[in-house]
Structure 1
Amino acid sequence: MNDPTQPTGPAAGHDDAGDGLLSVVGPWDGRVIFTAVHAGHDLRPEVRDLMILDEAARWREEDPHTERLGAGLESGMVMHRSRFEVDLNRPRDTSVYLEPDDSWGLDVWAGGRLPEEVAERSRQVHDAWYAELERRLSVMSERGPFVVFDLHSYNHRRDGPESDPAPAEDNPDVNIGTGPLDREPWDPVVEAFTRSLSAEVIPATGERLDVRENVRFWGQNESRWTHRLFPDTACVLALEFKKTFMDEWTGALDEEHLGQLAAALARTVPAVTAALEEVEVPTP
């Protein structure tokens, strides 16, 4: 039997958790952390052997470099495994893409469907991520309200490498997903974050960031899971960065642009931390 916790690929050498699945970054002693659930590209051998989806298509649907968007924050968690092995932003039961209907119509597996025994081992990766996250967020929750930047990226040139970008009115530079958030108690935090990031002018484009809430994305499993476990202390902002910092078809990265976005995100932390003081936590 293949062990889904065994390291695969170059990312395993950077793993702080000791099992090749994920990295834990920083001291986790502040009030704002990041997660990058779709940053990974690794596959364990039995999954790689069954996959027929080509490398370029897989890269395009993953969220490469999102862990680097969080590089200016002191603390976070990064998943090294590809979402095509297990999608942490879906509930456990649907976290593995078994057939094309689960993965935007893409043909992923030899034979058309992933065997159930392989899928169950992939779900153990899902278990491992959330066990580690729960352990760490429990400590944060004991100290008071906290914020998770749930970092993602999204494609905006779906019609092909030569296509025009999707219309800006429906595709903000940063989409803040707050669908699973009980919005009213956290208004000060969401508003402080939005004001801070919206004020940023990115030198690579010369334009102010277009930051809007729930335009394309609303937040998914990690956000729902966190708010369910820590309803009074957790505020998850699911942040989707439009892939303006890279060519989504070739994978070519604009290092300068990416670094500027990471710096802009880091500069929101003081405003977000100050806004947390306005959040009233119910007394047990």
Structure 2
Amino acid sequence: MEQTSLTSSKTTAPWDVVTEPGPVLVAAIHAGHTIRGSLAPWLEIGETDRLREEDPLTDFFLTAGDTIIRANRSRFEFDLNRPSETAVTTNPEDTWGLRIWKPDMPEREKELSLRLHRQFYDQVARRVDEMIEAHGRILVLDVHSYNHRRAGPDAEPDDPQLSPDIDLGATTLDKDIFGGLLERFGDALRSHPLNGRTLEVGTNIRWKDGGHFPEWLHAKYGDAACVITLEYKKVFMDEWGRSADILALQDLREGFLAAVDEARDWLAEHPAPGQAQRKARMPA
């Protein structure tokens, strides 16, 4: 049975989970910036470069979910969108040539990070089990952001044809089942302008996979979980600095809220096979 609960809101917690009854889970697993103090002696990357590769402010969209998950720790302490083999790495080849950790980082520190990685996936599995039991089909939205001025703050941005304002990652999504949901979701995002202009919303443009988190969900739950990754181009902030356009963020969130409402309607209109019978057997 679904219940309302809060797992931590302490600043030292590796992540926060808030649950309410309902079929929509929204996660911001790269929103965090904190790194535990015991790792400080082995950290090589500077704070500014680290922030550029994280997804700040993606937690701004979490309120649309029934269950919301925010990672408080940096993706470089343990990357929740990677399998355990590469979630903690001292090899720059795994991190776009960036040197994140000194090679002599102790094994005990790596193991502590990997233990947290395992705990996160165990907790998510328990919650998703509950949601599917209650609703038959659920929607998981994995919110990220991406840089589009890699060449420098004054350089030309990336080709807009290959860099939509929002790229929907739907590689694990069965179009025969959830194609209508995906279409309505994208249309709702486009229907809310950003600073007066229509958003460019693409599907699987920047990346051909969504990372470990959505792939794990699909492998474990199949078509009971419709998983969409949203990659927001960092048009709402200066990716080379520390400033953000709050009005742009509000425009984007309005579109996101509208898209989630459309998805809720679709889920209600297309229950999982046998869900009506399961609901009839549930105690009042």
Instruction: Classify the TM-score, shorter chain.
Output: 0.7 to 0.9
User: Which residue pairs with 2:281 in the alignment?
Assistant: none
1:23 aligns with 2:16: yes
1:243 aligns with 2:234: yes
User: Which residue pairs with 2:116 in the alignment?
Assistant: 125
Q: 2:98 aligns with which of 91, 106, 109?
A: 106
Q: SS at the partner of 1:208?
A: coil
User: Which residue pairs with 2:44 in the alignment?
Assistant: 52
User: Which residue pairs with 1:43 in the alignment?
Assistant: 35
1:156 aligns with 2:148: yes
User: Which residue pairs with 1:273 in the alignment?
Assistant: 264
User: Which residue pairs with 2:138 in the alignment?
Assistant: 146
How far residue 185 of structure 1 moved from its aligned partner, in angstroms, is 1.3
1:80 aligns with 2:72: yes
- Residue type of the alignment partner of 1:30: G
How far residue 71 of structure 1 moved from its aligned partner, in angstroms, is 3.1
Residue by residue, what CA displacement relative to the aligned partner does 1:203-238 show, whole Å, maximum 9, x if unpaired?
x2x111111100002311110111122113101100
How far residue 116 of structure 1 moved from its aligned partner, in angstroms, is 3.0
Contact 2:26–2:140 under 8 Å retained in 1: yes
Deviates more, 1:124-133 or 1:65-74: 65-74
What are the within-5 Å matches in structure 2 for residues 166-245 of structure 1? 166-202=158-194, 204=195, 206-217=196-207, 218-245=209-236
How far residue 97 of structure 1 moved from its aligned partner, in angstroms, is 2.2
Q: 1:134 aligns with which of 125, 133, 141?
A: 125
- Residue type of the alignment partner of 2:155: S
Residue by residue, what CA displacement relative to the aligned partner does 1:84-117 show, whole Å, maximum 9, x if unpaired?
101110112221122111111111223x353333
Structure 1 residues not aligned, in runs of 5+: 1-13
Residue by residue, what CA displacement relative to the aligned partner does 1:150-176 show, whole Å, maximum 9, x if unpaired?
000000000001112111110000000
User: Which residue pairs with 1:61 in the alignment?
Assistant: 53
- Residue type of the alignment partner of 1:129: F
Query: Hey, which bits of structure 1, 4+ residues long, moved more than 6 A?
Result: none
State how far apart, in whole Å, the 2-side matches of 1:15 and 1:244 are: 31
Among the aligned pairs, what percent are the same residue? 36
- Residue type of the alignment partner of 1:208: T
Q: Which TM-score applies when normalising by structure 1?
A: 0.88
Q: Please, what is the CA RMSD of the aligned residues?
A: 2.0
State how far apart, in whole Å, the 1-side matches of 2:264 and 2:114 are: 34
Contact 1:52–1:108 under 8 Å retained in 2: yes
State how far apart, in whole Å, the 1-side matches of 2:63 and 2:250 are: 9
How far residue 193 of structure 1 moved from its aligned partner, in angstroms, is 0.5
State how far apart, in whole Å, the 2-side matches of 1:55 and 1:64 are: 13
Q: SS at the partner of 2:16?
A: strand
How far residue 18 of structure 1 moved from its aligned partner, in angstroms, is 9.5
Contact 1:188–1:278 under 8 Å retained in 2: no
User: Which residue pairs with 2:282 in the alignment?
Assistant: none
Query: Between Structure 1 and Structure 2, how many residues are aligned?
Result: 267
State how far apart, in whole Å, the 2-side matches of 1:224 and 1:282 are: 23
Residue by residue, what CA displacement relative to the aligned partner does 1:15-57 show, whole Å, maximum 9, x if unpaired?
34897111123x4312222001100111112222210100000
- Residue type of the alignment partner of 1:180: T
Contact 2:193–2:251 under 8 Å retained in 1: no
How far residue 182 of structure 1 moved from its aligned partner, in angstroms, is 2.8
User: Which residue pairs with 2:279 in the alignment?
Assistant: none
